[in-house]
Amino acid sequence: MNSGDFKYQNADCRMQIEKTGIRKLSFCSLISAFCILHCAVAAHALPLYRDSLPNGLIVITFEEPRLPVIDIGFTCRSGSASDPDDRGGLANLTVSLLNRGAAGMSGDSIASVIDFLGARYNAGAGLDQSGLSTRVLAKDWQAGLGLLSQMIRNPSFDPKEIEQAKSLQSAGLRRSLDNPGFLVRYEFDKLLYAGHPYRKNPYGDTLSVAAVTRGDVAAFHKTYYVPNNCFIIAVGDIKRADFLAQVKAGFGDWQPGVVPAVPVPELKYPDKLRVKLIARPEVNQTYVQFGHPGISITDPDMLATRLGSYALGGSALSSRLGIAVREKEGLAYDVRSVFDRSRYPGSFWASVQTAKPKEALELMFHEIQAMHDSGATQAELTRAHNYYTGSFPLSYSSNEGKLQSVVLIELFRLGYDWLDKFPERIRAVTLDGISTAMRKHLQPGHYIMVVLGNVTKDDLGLKDVEWIE
């Protein structure tokens, strides 16, 4: 179960989460002139600083001394969208291998240091990026950063480790595919993004992961793990000058490279409703996801679209879809709609899991059409304004939240006035703005749909359909 907003005590409490009912799912110095190309000290009130080394590595420090803890995040601006077509999962595999041996240290030795420091460590790839992060006690940050620099720059890619990492990734993917909800999303993405780099799931598929060789991993690393394609962030009880000096020591002589662009074709809206039906007689609910192309996170309409989307399907309880499908009719536990936020236009999608798919889909189609035709109401706009401006401080009150916010800002180049200006920009979104955005970016009926369950075509009550066999 997606832990979402559920607050739990122990990251290992898998069993407990399975046992626990929750009401709703929710959507997670030495600053010297010779070593710095330019220092863009943030002009706003937050102690947030962005510097860059001559080799192009961006170094960001968020000074937050309230706890003796430091979070360090490293991001490479290339993710699964950069995987070769027949090597889906390569970006994730590459980043997963960084702590499995580097600079003469074995994977065991690295794990031993991380564990002994009591540090947390995470790594993984998304569509647009590969990243790792570590959380250490403040007294250990130099040891932690020293280790990270070796892992990032000089990974061993030991063949035995590669085989273990492939097995783990492949098992993780296959285990996820046992979950009907994941399978439906997986199939939906493959259909919507046919011929597009976003069709490649970060975990790849079982064949593509099996095909990956050491040469593939080394080539991916050599091409994309270059300083001008990466940035590193520290949040916590640390001074900008100290962090910068240490990053310079660990990464200053890292050589830049030429990063190939990812060819991104324009996504096409389907002419009509196109549906793939996956028969699963043993499943006692019908899982549905449908949608069409969406927009990029940097699209000028993004905020208006976000507010409209919040009113439409942002919450399984209080959005239009939530009220119609869950609260009034009790047809589902979770129903939602989302505009993905990604570098290139992603998707708009809506999903539901229900024993009565025909009824639920009728309601969902109706609500999306109404939002397309008439936009949001004044009450919805006010609520969305209040929600986004009010919840904004919550999202970066913790160091972890700050790290995630800064990664997004830097990755998508949202601008360092983002944190300061966000509430103002939200308030500037008008009803007209939402109406225009919804008319432009929602295309009711032009959906790709994936349905999984113990249902027949007739059970769904869909009209004018092209079935995908």
Partner 1 sequence: MKRIAFAIVLLAAVGARAEEDIESRVTEFKLKNGLEVIVYVDSSAPVVSTDVFYKVGSYDEQAGYTGLSHMLEHMSFKHTDIYKPGDFDRLVDSAGGNNNGFTSDYYTGYYEDFASDRWETALKIEAARMAKCVFPDSEFESEHQVVSEEQRLQENRPISQFYLQFGAIAQLVHPLRNPGVGWPDDVRRFTVSAVRDWYQRRYNPANAVLVIAGDVRPADAKLKVEKHFGKLAGTPVTRADYYDLEPKQIGERRLVMRRKVKVPQVLIAWHTPGVRDSGYVAGAVLGGVLAQGRNSRLYKTLVIDSGLAVSVGGYNWVERDPDLLRLYITPKSDSFIPRIERLVDREVERMKTELVSDREIEQVKNGVLAEHVFDRDDVSGMAFLLAANQILHGTWREYKTYPEQVTRVTKEQVRDFCRRYLTRENQTTGVLLPQKEER
Based on the shown chain and the rule CB under 8 A, indicate whether residue 180 belongs to the binding site for partner 1.
Answer: yes
Indicate the residue among 24 and 358 with the shorter CB distance to partner 1. Answer: 24
| Near partner 1 in 393-432, by CB under 8 A | 393-394, 397-400
Q: Where are the alpha helices (DSSP H) in 299-429?
A: 302-313, 320-321, 357-374, 378-395, 399-411, 418-427
349 binds partner 1, rule: CB under 8 A: no
Shortest Cβ 376–partner 1 spacing (Å):
14
Of the pair 197, 202, the CB lying nearest partner 1 is at 202
Least gap, CB of 182 to partner 1 (angstroms): 9
Q: Cα-flanking dihedrals φ and ψ of residue 450, to 5°? A: -120, 130
Interactions with partner 1, residue window 353-372 (CB under 8 A): 353-355
> Which lies closer to partner 1 via its Cβ, residue 55 or residue 289?
289
Specify the residue, 248 or 402, whose C-beta has the smaller distance to partner 1.
402
Binding of residue 164 to partner 1 (CB under 8 A): yes
8-state DSSP, 325? I
Residue pair 88/94 in contact (Cβ under 8 Å)? The answer is no
For the segment 75-134, give every residue that binds partner 1 (CB under 8 A): 107-108, 111-112, 115-120
Q: Facing residues of 95 across strands?
A: none
Q: Which is nearer to partner 1, 236 or 291 (CB)?
A: 236
Of the pair 385, 439, the CB lying nearest partner 1 is at 385
Number of Cβ within 10 Å of residue 366's Cβ equals 14
Kindly report the number of other CB atoms within 10 A of residue 51's CB atom: 24
397 strand-pairing partners: none
Residue from the set 7, 33, 195, 464 that interacts with partner 1 by CB under 8 A: 7
Binder among 387, 408, 420, 421 for partner 1 (CB under 8 A): 387
328 or 413: CB nearest partner 1: 328
Token pair belonging to 164 = 């273990």
Which of 155, 134, 82, 46 shows the shortest CA–CA distance to 397? 46
Tell me the three state secondary structure of residue 453.
Answer: strand
Residue linked to tokens 């009880």: 237
- Closest contact distance (angstroms) between CB of 185 and partner 1 is 14
Main-chain dihedrals φ then ψ at residue 203, nearest 5 degrees: -85, -5
Q: Does 16 bind partner 1 (CB under 8 A)?
A: yes
Q: How far apart are CA 426 and CA 209, in angstroms?
A: 42
Contact map string, positions 302 to 341, toward partner 1, x by CB under 8 A: -------------x-xx----x--xxxxxxxxx-------
Rounded to the nearest whole angstrom, what is the least distance from the CB of residue 445 to partner 1 in the complex?
A: 26
Residue type (1 letter), 227: P
* Minimal distance, residue 286 CB to partner 1, in Å: 10
Q: Coil, strand or helix: which one is 85? A: coil
Question: Is 453 exposed, middle or buried (CB count within 10 Å of its CB: 0-12, 13-18, 19+)?
Answer: buried
Nearer CB in complex with partner 1: 68/265: 68
Where in 276-295 is the site for partner 1 (CB under 8 A)?
A: 282-285
